[in-house]
Amino acid sequence: MTWSFLSWSPDDSAGAVYDVTVPGAWDELVDFYAGAEGSRPLRRIVAIAREHGVRSVVVEQRHLDPDWRSEHGAFHGQLFRRRPSVCHRWHLFTDDVPEDLSRLRQEAYRGYVVLRPLPSTPVGRTMIAPPRGLEDAIRCEATERVSLFGTPLWISAMPFLSQDAEYLRCAHATLWMVLRHAHLAHGLPRRLTAEVHDAALGGVIVGRQIPSEGLSVQQMLAGATRLGLSPGLMHLPATPDEDAAADEVTAPGTPGRRADPQAGRLSLRAVLCRYVNSQLPPIVISTSHAWVVVGYRREPGNDRRVTLWRHDDARGPYLEVDDPFAEPEDAHRPWQTAILPLLPAVYVTAERAEAAGRLWFAGYLRRADDDEPVSRAAAAGELTFRTYVVRSDDYLEGLGARGVDPALADFYRLAALPEHLWVVEAVDRAARRDARPDVLGEALVDATASTHHEPLQEGLVALHGGRLAHRIGPDHGTRRDLRLAEPGRYRTGRPGRR
């Protein structure tokens, strides 16, 4: 399918309103942009919009999209057959928008989709609210302000983009999604699609670069690094048996069992969930494809069972993954490697931070009183750990809302802390299953601690494990202790939904 150059923008109208409650309206829209060949990402977006109950689609008919313009100037504008440099942009509303666009309500807004003038690969920059199945999931997402004909609107979502199969491939699209999220959620500079393409050039090349035949893992790592991230790389368990063995972690300090998980000895979900917890969406790579893990949810009745969600540029946003070891499509088999998009100021990995926290709790449990909640959880086999990175300012400002003992909150507030902290929470599984406050204590780890020249626990800056809390000064090593009369539970400080 293709369009004549002028038919893409048939008139000079700013926008048009489509009532998609009319039978066949959605099909008409999809057919215009994707035709008989179809577009799986666009069909998935429409399915999510229908699930939200979208009634009106407002189409900006001449949207100046910075990403499309960057790749148009670098590639598509060089082709003999002209392609417009402007896009269309759908805006999705769950109420009836009048034809004169006089009423655009924030409460009814469910996001936008940029449509590029590309046959079969039209879906560009997209921010659509997650479907209802993710309401109780832990999600990577950010909030963007959108201006539509003078009306400010806000949408919280995980950015999505599909490849165009010529200039951008799946590897470029996944890098763009992670970088766009980092811009909106963490304040990193905005990176356009052409910047992503150029940053990943060179190195270990798997094929032609323009038109692109894809990227190697080394090119993806180099591109992410050049554009401001500090990515890590981890190999994932290859079989269900290997994954299950890695998941069998007993309480810290148990003789003969590990208390400090390291790379290559972790379950697939344990690796990925730590970074989703931290609002750092990991990229997963198979033998032929790449996608972004954007969320997870623990089954209420069985908190060891975890369902994942992904953005797949060739298939669409917010796709549920029931079992990574039983994927129905060849492109997703096997899950080989994860690129972990750490921020430039975060030197310590989640795995090393959790190892330090587990080691401290192993020592604390040997001297803790038997009646402390953390001791009872360990004795019952219900003690586990939750790890995430957070800005220390956000961590301190959130203490009151979490139900933290006021004396402990004051103790933390007067600590000298780095800009970013890894937080390793000791968690009571039984309380987590019952949706009660489940944190029994926590270890705060300096995210810039040395990973080579210091012992594992040198990065610990403050700790709480029941009746004891202490903090350590960064310059003089002064240790200050706090004794709590009644150790209790409090809520997680993990970013996003809690």
HEC string of the chain equals CCCCHHHHCCCCCCEEEEECCCCCHHHHHHHHHHCCCCCHHHHHHHHHHHHHCCCEEEEEEEECCHHHHHHHHHCHHHCCCCCCCCEEEEEEECCCCCCCCCCCCHHHEEEEEEECCCCCCCEEEEEECCCHHHCCCEECCEEEEEEECCEEEEEEECCECCCCCCCCCHHHHHHHHHHHHHHHHHCCCCCCHHHHHHHCCCCCCCCCCCCCCCCCHHHHHHHHHHCCCCCEEEECCCCHHHHHHHHCCCCCCCCCCCCCCCCCCCCHHHHHHHHHHCCCCCEEECCCCEEEEEEEEEECCEEEEEEEEEEECCCEEEEEECCCCCCCCHHHCCCCEEEECCCCCCCCCHHHHHHHHHHHHHHHHCCCCCCCHHHHHHHCCCEEEEEEEEEHHHHHHCCHHHCCCHHHHHHHHCCCCCCEEEEEEEEEHHHHHCCCCCEEEEEEEECCCCCCCCCHHHHEEEEECCCEEEEECCCCCCEEEEECCCCCCECCCCCCCC
Determine the pLDDT at residue 335: 96
Can you tell me the distance from the alpha carbon of 15 to that of 253, in angstroms, rounded to the nearest whole number? Answer: 64
Instruction: Per residue of the chain (498 residues), give pLDDT as tens.
Output: 556 666 788 788 888 999 999 999 999 999 999 987 789 999 999 999 999 999 999 999 999 999 999 999 999 989 888 889 999 999 999 999 999 888 999 999 999 999 999 988 999 999 999 998 898 899 999 999 999 999 999 999 999 999 999 999 999 999 999 999 999 999 999 999 999 999 999 888 888 888 889 999 999 999 999 999 999 999 999 899 888 887 665 444 443 343 343 434 688 999 999 999 999 999 999 999 999 999 999 987 777 789 999 999 999 999 999 999 999 999 999 999 999 999 998 999 999 999 999 999 999 999 999 999 999 999 999 999 999 999 999 999 999 999 999 999 999 999 999 999 999 999 999 999 998 999 999 999 999 997 665 666 788 999 999 899 999 988 888 899 999 988 889 999 998 654
Determine the pLDDT at residue 3: 62
Determine the pLDDT at residue 1: 54
Collect all residues with Cβ–Cβ distance below 8 Å to 4 and sequence separation of at least 6. Answer: none
Determine the pLDDT at residue 210: 86
Give the side-chain half-sphere CA count within 13 A for 253. Answer: 16
Angle between helix 40-52 and helix 25-34 axes, rounded to 10 deg: 160
Domains delineated in the chain:
5-169 (no CATH), 232-340 (3.90.70), 350-483 (no CATH)
Scanning the structure block, which residue is given the tokens 């924030």?
A: 106
Can you tell me the distance from the alpha carbon of 106 to that of 93, in angstroms, rounded to the nearest whole number? Answer: 9
**For residues 69-96, b (16+ Cβ closer than 10 Å) or e, as one string?**
bbbbebbbeeeeeebbebbbbbbbbbee
Determine the pLDDT at residue 498: 42
Is 246:270 a contact under the CB 8 Å cutoff? yes
Enter the pTM of the model. 0.93
Other Cβ atoms within 10 Å of 224 Cβ, number: 26
Can you tell me the distance from the alpha carbon of 140 to that of 281, in angstroms, rounded to the nearest whole number? Answer: 6
Determine the pLDDT at residue 265: 63
Which residues on adjacent β-strands are paired with residue 340?
A: 232
Q: Is the dihedral of CA 407, 411, 412, 413 positive or negative?
A: positive
Q: Output the CA–CA distances (angstroms, integers) from residue 308 to 90, 134, 292, 299, in the order listed.
A: 28, 10, 11, 11
Determine the pLDDT at residue 136: 87
- Token pair belonging to 136: 């109780």
- Residue in 303, 418, 429 with CA at minimum distance from that of residue 353: 418
- Residue in 389, 451, 456 with CA at minimum distance from that of residue 418: 389
The alpha-carbon radius of gyration of the chain (Å, integer) is 24
Say how far residue 147 (Cα) sits from the centre of its chain: 25
Determine the pLDDT at residue 11: 80
Counting other chains too, the contacts that 296-304 makes at CB distance below 8 Å and 24 or more residues apart are 296/137, 296/138, 296/269, 296/272, 297/134, 297/136, 297/137, 297/138, 298/432, 300/433, 300/435, 301/433, 303/429, 303/432, 303/433, 304/247
Say how far residue 130 (Cα) sits from the centre of its chain: 12
Can you tell me the distance from the alpha carbon of 90 to that of 56, in angstroms, rounded to the nearest whole number? Answer: 10
**For residues 33-59, b (16+ Cβ closer than 10 Å) or e, as one string?**
bbeeeebbbbebbbebbeebebbbbbb
Determine the pLDDT at residue 87: 95
Determine the pLDDT at residue 35: 81
- Residue in 27, 37, 178, 15 with CA at minimum distance from that of residue 99: 15
- Token pair belonging to 301: 């009745």
Scanning the structure block, which residue is given the tokens 């298939």?
A: 315
Counting every residue written for the chain, the total comes to 498
